[in-house]
Amino acid sequence: MPWYSYAAVYFIVWWLVLFAVLPFGVRSQQEEGHVAEGTERGAPSRFGVGRTLLVTTLVSLIVYAAYFGVTDWLGYSFDDIPQIIPSAG
């Protein structure tokens, strides 16, 4: 597989992990006890962009390493998964 295919897979994994990591550790303004006027009370009081990006990158590296190990080192692919619906032939 060419290098840009690996980069595309990592990019997809990174975005999926980002949306999974976003709600971790976020406290709303209502939970903090201070709601800024003109904002939704459920809005985050503080958002750590750097921490979120770092955690996303680290978790993505772990997930991608597992994918890379299974596909390149062990040689498995999606073709090795048994079919749920048998073929008509």
Q: Both tokens of residue 71? A: 């596909």
- Tell if the pTM clears 0.75, that is, is over it: no
Asked whether residue 88 is assigned to any structural domain, the reply reads no
Asked whether residue 21 is assigned to any structural domain, the reply reads yes
Asked whether residue 85 is assigned to any structural domain, the reply reads no
Give the model confidence (pLDDT) of 17-51 as tens digits: 999 999 888 888 888 888 888 888 888 888 888 99
Give the model confidence (pLDDT) of 51-85 as tens digits: 999 999 999 999 999 998 988 888 888 777 777 77
Asked whether residue 86 is assigned to any structural domain, the reply reads no
CA angle, 25 then 27 then 29, to 5°: 165
Asked whether residue 81 is assigned to any structural domain, the reply reads no
Q: How many structural domains compose the chain?
A: 1
How far is the C-alpha of 56 from the C-alpha of 12, rounded, in Å?
A: 12
Domain that holds residue 69: 3-75
Asked whether residue 83 is assigned to any structural domain, the reply reads no
